[in-house]
Structure formats: C-alpha cells, structure tokens
C-alpha cells in the first residue's frame, strides 16, 4: 500500500495502520477515489470565488463576457460513477468508531 494512501487515511479518518491494513484493495481504492474527488470539489469551490472576482473585473473592463469557468474550467466530476447505494455501503463499512471517553 502506498505511503501516501496510508497518510491520507490516517489524516482524514484518524485510522491506525492496523485499521487501514484490514481494508480490502477494493475498499481502499473506493475510499481514496472518493476522498480525492471531495478534495477536488473543495479546491474548486475555493478557486471559484477568486475566478468569480476576476471575471467581474474582466467584464467591467472588456466587451467580451468572461465567466469564472474561463479561468478554472468546469466543476470536477467523479472518475468512476458510483451509485448512491455503493457510496452508502462504503460509508457504512468505513465509518469512524468513537473512542471511549476515559
């Protein structure tokens, strides 16, 4: 398992190496794919704010209409089309277990 995947799962979920090691390759691939997609969405949303401001300024100074997408492209899409049921089952299988207060 690549070190980047281990670090990503440990950082995002607080999982230990043992917990990560119990995942099947399919589970690992699905989780990393979903985390990557969600991160790309977050990055896009942040970039969109700046692209929107840039497009407003350009539209004030230019005769051509400029859209935020002209700066940052279209919103990211999932690489693999998971069904809603697949994502629900994945979340159910991989949800965090609360640590006892003690």
Q: For the residues of 4-72, what is the DSSP string, one character each?
A: HHHHHHHHHH---HHHHHTS-HHHHHHHHHHHHHHHHHHHHHHHHHHHHHHHHHHHHH-SS---THHHH
Please indicate, yes or no, if residue 62 is contained in any of the structural domains: yes
Please indicate, yes or no, if residue 34 is contained in any of the structural domains: yes
Please indicate, yes or no, if residue 63 is contained in any of the structural domains: yes
Please indicate, yes or no, if residue 50 is contained in any of the structural domains: yes
State the chain's mean pLDDT as an integer.
83
Domain coverage including residue 61: 3-94
Please indicate, yes or no, if residue 46 is contained in any of the structural domains: yes
Please indicate, yes or no, if residue 101 is contained in any of the structural domains: no
Overall number of domains in the chain:
1
Taking only the tens place, the pLDDT of each residue in 37-80 is 999 999 999 999 999 999 999 999 988 999 999 999 999 988 76
Higher pLDDT, 9 or 65: 65
Higher pLDDT, 56 or 14: 56
Q: To the nearest whole percent, how much of the chain has pLDDT over 90?
A: 34
Please indicate, yes or no, if residue 76 is contained in any of the structural domains: yes
State residue 83's pLDDT score: 65
Would you say the pTM of this structure is higher than 0.85?
A: no
Please indicate, yes or no, if residue 13 is contained in any of the structural domains: yes
């Amino acid at each position: 398992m690549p070190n980047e995947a281990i670090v990503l799962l440990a950082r995002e979920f607080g999982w230990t190496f043992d917990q990560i090691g119990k995942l099947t390759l399919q589970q690992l691939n699905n989780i990393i794919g979903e985390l990557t997609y969600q991160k790309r969405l977050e990055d896009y949303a942040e970039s969109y704010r700046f692209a929107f401001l840039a497009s407003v300024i350009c539209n004030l100074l230019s005769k051509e209409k400029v859209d935020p997408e002209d700066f940052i492209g279209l919103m990211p899409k999932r690489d693999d089309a998971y069904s809603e049921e697949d994502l629900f089952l994945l979340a159910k299988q991989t949800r965090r277990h609360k640590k006892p207060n003690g």
